[in-house]
Structure 1
Amino acid sequence: MAEIQLRNISKRWGSFVGVENFDLTIADKEFLVLLGPSGCGKTTTMRMIAGLEDATEGDILVDGTKVNDLEPKDRDVAMVFQSYALYPNMNVYENIRFPLKVRGIDPKTHDEKVRRASAMVELDDFLHRKPAELSGGQRQRVALARAIVREPNVFLMDEPLSNLDAKLRVSTRAQIKNLSHELAVTTIYVTHDQIEAMTLADRVVIMKQGVVQQVGTPVEIYDRPANTFVASFIGSPAMNLIEGSIENGVFRAKYTEVHGLDAPDGPITLGFRAEDASVVHDGSKGEINAPIYTLELLGDSTMVSVRLAGQLVSVKADKTFRAEIDDTVSLHIHTDHCHLFDAKTGARLGE
């Protein structure tokens, strides 16, 4: 069991606020992802849980026991870092075994534990090699195995895939997903990559400048972003956001007119995702009529982008769609999938 409670924890260095009033309960066996841009406070939050940073305010509880004053070694957490932090003079077997030696685990059990951990990350053929003889992906798997062998209550993973190339990131991500299912250990995972967050997490915490913006399942955050920051951070491409105004249920902006929206009159930001709009082919007028800014063939579809007063708006068209830059294109927005945000605060409007 490892339920983690973060009770209004904050971290400050003088006047600089790293994390502000973070309040959350992480369920036993949950895979929680802390997501946000560099400097948003996600790694600082993880380091406070690990005991590598002291919280300025608030309490950290594991299974109801306050751990603020416990040393990192006494918190029963295993960390996997962006840098693999392997011992270059030890082979893979000894690197994986090292935590067992340090913690005084019965040597008779070492071999079984090491080989079980190495099998989980498919390293059995590399146990005799030194880290310098391994690829980046293999080194990261050694770091994972070294964390697994400890059998901790909590896994903490800080940007573990960021040093890998795109193909290795995909395969290692799948391995981490499978491991989390197999090991069923509470996991807190830090990343700035929204695809990692969406594919790995049971729940995602999105942070900005030390403040939590939204907590929810990947589907909840994708379908109902709490504000324009979340909307612009989640999704590939990010949600289209058009600044304009509403009058009598009609939204207007450059090249744009959308009817049937339920919002008070005044300035507003309209949001919709690329897949929730389409190119009009029958000669009728859609809600957006503008010159094409760029076309990108993605294989399964074509991304059509237009510029509206400096704002780039992208719509997914069929892969067979053909046109030229500067051709006028008519785009239909499915109003059932529109999102409305306060023009000043960026907060979501409506229920």
Structure 2
Amino acid sequence: MAEIQLRNLSKRWGSFVGVDNFDLTIADREFLVLLGPSGCGKTTTMRMIAGLEEVTEGEIWIGDRKVNDLEPKDRDVAMVFQSYGLYPNMNVYDNIRFPLKVRKVDKSEHDARVMKAAEMVELTDFLHRKPAALSGGQRQRVALARAIVREPNVFLMDEPLSNLDAKLRVSTRAQIKNLSHELQVTTVYVTHDQIEAMTLADRVVVMNAGVVQQVGSPTEIYDNPANTFVAGFIGSPAMNLIDGHLAGGRFTAQGTEVTGLKGPDGPVTLGFRAEDATVSNDTSGQITAPAYSMELLGDATMVTVRVDGQQVNVKASKEYRAEIGDTVSISVPPEICHLFDRQSGARIAV
């Protein structure tokens, strides 16, 4: 059992708050992703779990043990870093085997465990090579195998894909997803890439400036963002957000008018996803503006307009065509819209 409890966890350096009152239970075998921009506190949280960073306030429990005062080696966690951290003088086999030697695992077990871990990450043909003779993706797989061979209670992964090119990121992401299914080990994964978070996580924790903004499944966070920060961070492209005014169910902003909405009168931010709106070349929609940009994506066409100085993106069909500068009309049905309080940024529940 490797349930992790983070009880009112905080980390401060003088007056600077890195993590503020983080309170969460991570279920046994759950794949939890900490997501947010640089400096939001996600890596600091992971380092506190690992024992690499001292806790200012709060408690960390792994299973039935409070681990605040335990050394990293005694917490039974395995880390995979952004920098692969391989030993250049050792071949792949010995790099993977190294944690077993350090932990004084019986030598009779070494070969079987190394081969099993290498097979899981498809490295059996590269065991004799040194790290310098490997590609970035292969080096990251060695780092994964070195964590797997430990058979820990918890995996901690700190942006393990950020050094890889786009194509390798996709294939290695799929490999991590498959490994988590096979290994069934509690995993905490740090990333600033919301696509990684959406594809890998059982639950996502969105953080900003050391504070948890929202915790939920990828679907919950995508469909019902708690505030404008989450709405503007999750999604590719992020949710369109337009500042305006709501009165009697009618939202108005420069170049925008949407009726049939539910919410209190006053200043609000209207949000909607690019794929939920539609675009045409007439003037029947709620937003009419000149096309600012047209991007062919293969399966769709991304149409961008500027409304009151803000960019608004809409995904049209791959056949849709318009020239930059042509007037386009965007239809925004009220049922696809989200409303947020202008002052606090919080979602308005209706």
TM bucket by the smaller chain? over 0.9
- With over 3 angstroms needed to count, the CA separation of the structure-2 counterparts of 1:306 and 1:284, relative to structure 1, is closer
Q: Deviations over 1:202-240 (max 9, x none)?
A: 000000000000000000000000000000000000000
Q: What is aligned with 1:304?
A: 303
Alignment-derived partner of residue 194 in structure 1: 194
Letter in 1 for 2:49: I
Bigger mean CA offset, 331-340 vs 33-42: 331-340
Amino acid at match of 1:347: A
Give a deviation string over 1:161-207, Cα, whole Å, max 9, x none: 00000000000000000000000000000000000000000000000
8 Å Cα contact 2:6-2:22 kept in structure 1: yes
Q: How does 1:161-310 map to 2 (within 5 A)?
A: 161-280=161-280, 283=282, 285-310=284-309
Q: Distance in 2 between matches of 1:56 and 1:102?
A: 30
**One-letter code of the match for 1:202?**
D
How far apart are 1:65 and its partner, in Å?
Answer: 1.7
Q: The residue matched to 2:87 in structure 1 has which SS?
A: coil
| CA-CA distance at 1:98 after TM superposition | 0.3
Q: Which residue of 1 aligns with 2:64?
A: 64
TM-superposed deviation, 1:334: 2.1
Deviations 1:32-81 (A, max 9, x none): 00000000000000000000011100000111321100000000000000
Find the aligned partners of 1:17 and 1:211 in 2 and give their Cα distance. Answer: 9
Q: Deviations over 1:84-127 (max 9, x none)?
A: 00000000000000000000000001000000000000000000
Q: Which residue of 2 aligns with 1:119?
A: 119
Secondary structure of 2:118's aligned partner = helix
Shift of 1:15: 0.3
SS at match of 2:58: strand
Whether the 8 Å CA contact 2:9–2:21 is kept in 1: the answer is yes
Using the TM superposition, give the Cα deviation of residue 284 of structure 1 relative to its aligned residue in structure 2, in angstroms: 5.3
Is the CA contact 2:4–2:62 (under 8 Å) kept in the aligned structure 1?
Answer: yes
Q: Which runs of 5+ in 1 are unaligned?
A: none
The answer on 1:11 being equivalent to 2:11 is yes
Letter of the 2:323 partner, please give it.
E
Tell me the equivalent position of 1:92. Answer: 92
Distance 1:81 1:132 in 2: 18
Between the two proteins, the alignment pairs up a number of residues equal to 350
Q: Identity over the aligned pairs, expressed in percent?
A: 77
Distance 2:80 2:243 in 1: 42
1:347 alignment partner in structure 2? 346
Contact 2:283–2:328 at 8 Å: present in 1 too? no
TM-score normalised according to structure 2 size: 0.99
* Partners of 2:175 and 2:32 in 1: CA distance: 16
Tell me, in whole angstroms, the C-alpha distance in 1 between the residues paired with 2:44 and 2:72: 14
User: Structure 2: how far apart are the matches of 1:323 and 1:191?
Assistant: 37
1:73 aligned to 2:73? Answer: yes
Letter in 1 for 2:348: L
The TM-score with structure 1 as length reference comes to 0.99
2:15, 2:264 → 1: CA distance? 39
Report the equivalent of 1:322: 321
Rounded Cα–Cα distance in structure 1 between residues aligned with 2:178 and 2:106 = 28
Residues 261-298 of structure 1, C-alpha deviation per residue, up to 9 Å, x if partnerless?
A: 111111100000001100135x4511111111111111
Shift of 1:325: 1.0
Q: Which amino acid aligns with 2:311?
A: L
Structure 2 letter corresponding to 1:149? V
Mapped to 1, the partners of 2:75 and 2:233 lie a distance apart of: 33
Structure 2 CA distance for aligned equivalents of residues 339 and 168 of structure 1: 35
Whole-Å separation in 2 of the counterparts to 1:248 and 1:186: 49
CA deviations on 1:277-324 (whole Å, 9 max, x unpaired) are 00135x451111111111111111111111011110011111111111
Query: Which secondary structure does the structure 1 equivalent of 2:198 belong to?
Result: helix
Q: What is the aligned-residue RMSD (CA, Å)?
A: 0.8
